[in-house]
Amino acid sequence: MKTYSSRTEVPINEKWNLADIYFEQSKWEEDYQVIEKMAGKLKASDGGIQDGHTLYQYLKLNEELSFRFSKVYAYAMLKVDEDTRDTSAQVFLDRAKLLSVKVSSATSFFMPYLLSLEKETLKGYISEEQGLAYFEEDLWESFRYKEHVLSKEQEEILSQLGEALSVPTHTFGMMNNADIKFGEVTDESGERVELTRGMYSKLIEDEDRDKRREAYKAYYKPYVQLKNSIASTLSAAIKNNVTLSRIRHYPSVLEKALFGDKVPKEVYENLIQTTKNNIGPLHQYTKIRKEKLKLDELRQYDMSVPLVSGVKPVIPYEEAFEIMCKALSPLGEDYIEILKEFKDRSYIDVRETPGKRSGAYNLGIYGVHPYILLNHRDDLDSLFTLVHECGHGVHSRLSSDHQPQITARYSIFVAEVASTVNEVLLINYLLNNEKDTAIRKHLINHFIDQFKGTFFTQVMFAEFEKKTHEMADKGLPLNVEVFNQTYEALFREYNGDEIVFDNEVKYGWSRIPHFYRPFYVYKYATGFASAIHLATQILDGDQETLHSYLEFLKSGSSDYPLELLKKTGVDLTTPDSIENSLKRFGKLVEEFSKI
């Protein structure tokens, strides 16, 4: 793999072109000034919206501001991510963040104003102003929250309490990101080094079991030491969620969390129950893992090591892109043309360089195009990352091309569908074209582990959240012992009886930041299962599913996520799609055991 000591060494066609947003920085500055003036005008509308025309003028100006602001912020963020050490780029981002605060402040009056209107008044405004037809669905969507909004005085009190209510989340964030130190472990060269999270994710996959065990013990040690403090923050966060849902007149915390996507609680419950009804293949995989590793006792630090060693194919970026285009060909010529455009028109920033942000992401910018950040390392993982992010990219591109600005951005609920469909098509292509048994085993193992992490683990987390919030709702105590018992029982139920539990297993709850964003992780599982179902249908040659899937990619947020998925044949209110995906997992485990 070629390494680059600076960004200037990277070929121009492997760097994204930010000139598509602003061809010179003076244009960024111009938009910045315009947005400031627009924010002032919006602020001046407070108390001045009296009829349909003035409501339309406000909404029209606000949308224009949003369009410009998304470009201003994206440009600054992408510049920083090219090289996080670049102080001049950081100045741009700091100014963009400051502008965001100004805009939020200027528009903060609007939602309380809208929800203070009577339904008939809003109907009257919409009928008298033709321009409001464009905003009508969005207005009624906001109006859906009316029964959960309090009086102006009560809302102001809640607003003032906002900072205090966020203390548990903030405290855990500070402990987890700033205070926790994992101590020293032995690295590959035998030196004692400070353990980091990035290093842990590598060491827990190391073939040397002693290294895995040492890293595991070191990683969990500070969480166990801080168990009472972390239990206190998590308990407070959960109780805050329960209290707020009661204050806002929701039947439960779960229903409050699902309200925005208009998802009935039965979908959440169905996901958990259907998974548990089909848990057998996961238990089987745990047994296979113990056999393959030739262990008398399987422990948690043995659960991430790849079961196929020595498979490290070199896949240069150009080759990876060609493989992707061939693998995704079942999605049609138009889809592949869009992918080629991403490459030819420099939408993708490919190479790892000093100071560049780590990881990978897709950022869709309405009215411009998607930008994709990679840190490509010419290996199999990089190929999967490319295919994954391009799934997001095409979803962003098609939604922007076929939707007005107001409905172009898709919901988090469906965000992982396009990326996972691509990964399933890639796995299928590689397995169909790979003769090397070791690589085939590695591919199946990779996908099984991805399925386990993105689906089963997230469902387990989702059930933990449900159980602990129900306890809080009933006034039952939440402490270290309760969290330990709940988590340990779920871990055993999902992973089976083959694992010998170290003391650390039951503290798994203490290290999960997502638990401070209630009832969020289930979306990973529903998105993943939906994608498996769709990809399987497409690979079976179902043209109706292919057509409806491509239409789904163009739909943005033009309907609620469950309804968009139903149009593709995925109905998450029934067990069918989840069961179909779990059958696919069972077949993978069966094939892996035979190979």
Which residues does residue 349 pair with via DSSP β-bridges, in sequence order? 373
What is the pLDDT, as a whole number, of residue 584? 92
CB atoms within 10 A of CB 573: 13
Domains of the chain: 7-149 (1.20.140.70)
Written as one string, the DSSP assignment of 133-198 is GTTHHHHHHHHTTGGG---HHHHHHHHHHHHHHTHHHHHHHHIIIII----EEE-TTS-EEE--HH
Q: Are 27 and 91 in contact (CB under 8 A)?
A: no
Q: Is there a catalytic annotation at residue 389?
A: yes
Spatial distance between the Cα atoms of 349 and 341, rounded to a whole number of angstroms: 14
Q: Which long-range contacts (CB under 8 A, 24 or more apart) does 58-67 make?
A: 58/110, 59/132, 59/135, 60/131, 62/107, 62/110, 63/405, 63/406, 64/38, 65/35, 65/38, 65/39, 65/103, 66/405, 67/366, 67/367, 67/405
pLDDT 10s digit of each residue in the chain, 595 long?
A: 677 889 999 999 999 999 999 999 999 999 999 999 999 999 999 999 999 999 999 999 999 999 999 999 999 999 999 999 999 999 999 999 999 999 999 998 999 899 999 999 999 999 999 999 999 999 999 999 999 988 878 888 887 888 888 999 999 999 988 899 999 998 777 889 899 888 898 899 989 999 999 999 999 999 999 999 999 999 999 999 999 999 999 999 999 999 999 999 999 999 999 999 999 999 999 999 999 999 999 999 999 998 988 778 899 999 999 999 999 999 999 999 999 999 999 999 999 999 999 889 999 999 999 999 999 999 988 999 999 999 999 999 999 999 999 999 999 999 999 999 999 999 999 999 988 888 899 999 989 999 999 999 999 999 999 999 999 999 999 999 999 999 999 999 999 999 999 999 999 999 999 999 999 999 999 999 999 999 999 999 999 999 999 999 999 999 999 999 999 999 999 999 999 999 999 999 999 998 7
Which residues does residue 351 pair with via DSSP β-bridges, in sequence order? 376
What is the pLDDT, as a whole number, of residue 172? 94
What is the pLDDT, as a whole number, of residue 99? 96
Could you give the C-alpha distances from 153 to 47, 156, 164, in angstroms and in order? 17, 5, 18
What is the pLDDT, as a whole number, of residue 187? 77
What is the pLDDT, as a whole number, of residue 496? 93
Spatial distance between the Cα atoms of 162 and 170, rounded to a whole number of angstroms: 12
240, HSE (Cβ side, Cα atoms, 13 Å): 20
- Copy the structure tokens of residue 47: 């108390």
Whole-structure pTM value = 0.91
Q: Is the dihedral of CA 144, 145, 148, 149 positive or negative?
A: negative
3-state SS track over 345-366 = CCCEEEECCCCCCCCCEEEECC
Which residues does residue 372 pair with via DSSP β-bridges, in sequence order? 348, 362
Q: Are 468 and 483 in contact (CB under 8 A)?
A: yes
Q: Are 325 and 340 in contact (CB under 8 A)?
A: yes
Spatial distance between the Cα atoms of 343 and 318, rounded to a whole number of angstroms: 10
What is the pLDDT, as a whole number, of residue 340? 98
Spatial distance between the Cα atoms of 444 and 595, rounded to a whole number of angstroms: 10
Spatial distance between the Cα atoms of 222 and 218, rounded to a whole number of angstroms: 8
Q: Are 238 and 425 in contact (CB under 8 A)?
A: no
Spatial distance between the Cα atoms of 200 and 219, rounded to a whole number of angstroms: 7
Which is the catalytic residue, given 82, 129, 389, 463? 389
Which secondary structure element, helix H or strand E, spans residue 373, and what is its range? strand 370-376
Cα Rg of the chain, angstroms = 25
